[in-house]
A and B are shown apart, each in its own frame.
Chain A
């Protein structure tokens, strides 16, 4: 047991070093586009992993997580514009371009939004839950599409990435490393959460609500907390995406963003810790590669997804575990 733990730690350290080295390798290879791709993978990975906590662990099939992803983006965008215009939001909130302020603000806003959406959606279940979460996300999509003060349908340009400790955030590599640090912190918390006492209750409710009721668990409040945590995680990812793209738009709130996150989770492995990150990497790279190759890329992507899901129940993580099992 100690040996396999040591091996795991070693693998984690090597993995982390490889991630840290990405900008250096990309520079050496002359492919700086890799840096942006890697940054986006980390961000989408966080969003998918957050969705996975609700979907894979809690059995809460939300088709509305785009709402939190987009809200995170708009928190950054609107606070930046308020800062640039030197006005006050709602007449009393000053704007800011500081990441150490916009991220907590994102947590607050997406937490409240997830509490409101969750409180209503969780009164239902099954297909109804899927439809209601979708409906809420669409409502926000139309709301921001019509919000002309903040770009409306065209979206909102953020002239400069948020500042952090005086780092040069215009430098892609620096921004990547900042994102990596946030993702690493996110990952530690998220992994702990899945194994925690609370996580055990949430996954127990997915497996058998009747059993959990007989043990004294009121499902609603636990699911609501799980949904809020999940929404906050996705919101943080959205805030980071807005910073990296220096742009946010209603597109992020649209149903296909929810679908994209869901595909990442399913592709990587529902209810696995690292699967969503793997799913995000594979989906984003595939989209990129296929897009350059043929304009029928969505069709081919669909076929790839079909094969992975049919061949490996449990997604790519099932394949990874298979390979691991064979080796030892």
Chain B
């Protein structure tokens, strides 16, 4: 495996008395899926928020290609190749599915300051955006306004928009949550094809998906990484069984 692209060192985030991130070390390499699992409230989304720059950590460092990006804003980090899909879909709700993807494409092409290009002049952007929708469950839903989409469709759109930025790393916060069985299966297939091009940080409660996809797994409980290893190591870890997997026997 190649050297890590993203490195998180000794990260701490406190909300009042609660330590939501407790000296977390984490890394992610090109071409791997590193799953982050843990019970509700463990601090998974909080960790992603800090990596993306939406929240500032209290202690520790975040390195991208060896560069300390702790002081960079969220937009700067996005431009450096960090793309995220939100746990609760956060999209442009007044415009269509295709418009949402097109915005991501135009930003990647730095086409954000042109004040007089017509829709016809933006046709290349729309065409490229169509390309990202092709082959997904949203291929024929491009004209639908986002506020008319189902929850599952919005989750899928989150991923398409993130991909349309052609990022180096994808940070996915529970991409399967709220998807139907067949949608989940499609998502698993999509993610397994995506791993070749991107490093993926995958936060997910769906254990089938995690065990299916992950190269490595880290287990987060009360803000601390309590275990880290391959799928087989994590499955066999008694502490993980007790602290996390055991709770989920359904």
Contact = CB atoms under 8 A, between A and B. Distances in A.
A201 B112 contact: yes
Nearest to B80: A216
B105 to A, nearest CB: 10
B90 A208 contact: yes
Interface string A289-306: 000000000000000000
Specify which of B73, B107, B112 lies most central, judged by the most chain A CB atoms within 10 Å of its CB: B112
A200 interface: yes
A214 B91 contact: no
Interface secondary structure of A, over-half rule? helix
Interface string A210-224: 111111111000100
A210 B54 contact: yes
A54 B198 CA distance: 38
Given A198-B112, A199-B115, A216 B107 contact: yes
B221 interface: no
Interface stretch (B7-15, B23-31, B117-125, B205-213): B117-125
A189 B106 CA distance: 21
A207 B145 CA distance: 13
Nearest to B125: A197
Contacts of B165: 215-216
Given A208-B92, A211-B92, A197 B106 contact: yes
B242 interface: no
Q: Say which size band chain B's interface belongs to.
A: 35 or more
A99 interface: no
Contacts of A256: none
Contacts, number: 91
Contact of A197 (B79, B86, B111): B111
A152 interface: no
B93 A207 contact: yes
A302 to B, nearest CB: 29
Contact of B114 (A197, A207, A210): A197
Contacts of B201: none
Contacts of A210: 54, 90
Interface string B137-168: 00000000000000000000000010001000
Given A210-B54, A214-B84, 8 more contacts: A195-B118, A195-B119, A197-B113, A198-B114, A201-B103, A201-B112, A204-B92, A217-B112
The 10 A-B pairs of least Cβ separation, nearest first, read: A216-B78, A197-B114, A216-B79, A213-B74, A207-B92, A198-B115, A197-B111, A218-B75, A192-B116, A216-B75
16 contacts: A192-B115, A196-B114, A197-B111, A197-B115, A197-B117, A201-B107, A203-B95, A208-B92, A212-B103, A213-B74, A213-B78, A214-B74, A214-B83, A215-B78, A215-B103, A229-B115
